[in-house]
Amino acid sequence: MKKKIPTFFFLIIFLLLQNKIVYSQINNKIIISVGDYPITTIDLLKEIKLIAILSDTDINQSNREQIKGLAVKSLIKRNIKESEIKRRNIYKYNKKQLNGLILNTSKKLGVDQEGLKQILERNNLSYKELIDRFETDLKWNYMIFQIYKNKISLNTAEIENKIQSKVESLKDNSNQSEINLIKEQIINEEKEKKLKMFSNMHFSNLERSIQIKFL
């Protein structure tokens, strides 16, 4: 679907990257609606900037359309997820995984948690909004597990073959503890694959049922 973006869009991106504009100076308006949820100009600009920071990418003539497209898709996807999470009253998520996401994001940028906060602040972005973004994904994962956990079926023979192949690659240096760890890891990986499949299916069904308008 073709997205129609205001003509002043790229000028604002440039100014934002130069930190020469504040959001209060932007003519903020709704540019996309996802069901009853609006996405505004500022939402899109923030998402573009966050994607650029987290991927350590400078926006330029050659990649701006790609990053804009990624930002639009990301916002739509998050709005759909948030709507479903709210509808099902999902509040739980894995806090250990949240801490892991924060740590991994900080490491990727070569800073600690405080340094991550400072990077976001320097770019007029909110640390809380980043955490909310992580929490949405984790709540979605929890929801998918609760809905589909009884539908996860694993191919026992395939798993045993993978375990055997992995153990053989260790030659004679493996002990029972290592073998059990390998088995647990492979089983968890297969479960994650199944859950990802259910997640994609669930999201696709929602996406088809929700009216998305580009204004």
3-class DSSP string for 40-63: EHHHHHHHHHHHHHHCCCCCCCCC
Q: Given this model, what pLDDT does residue 23 score?
A: 61
Residue 7: the pLDDT is 45
- Name all domains of the chain by residue range, CATH numbers in brackets: 9-214 (1.10.4030.10)
- Per-residue confidence (pLDDT) for residue 175, from 0 to 100: 73
pLDDT tens column, 107-152 = 999 999 999 999 999 988 999 999 999 999 999 999 999 999 999 9
Q: Which of 97, 103, 185, 172 is nearest to 136 (CA)?
A: 97
Q: Is the pLDDT of residue 17 over 80?
A: no
Q: Specify the DSSP element, H or E, that contains 203.
A: helix 176-209
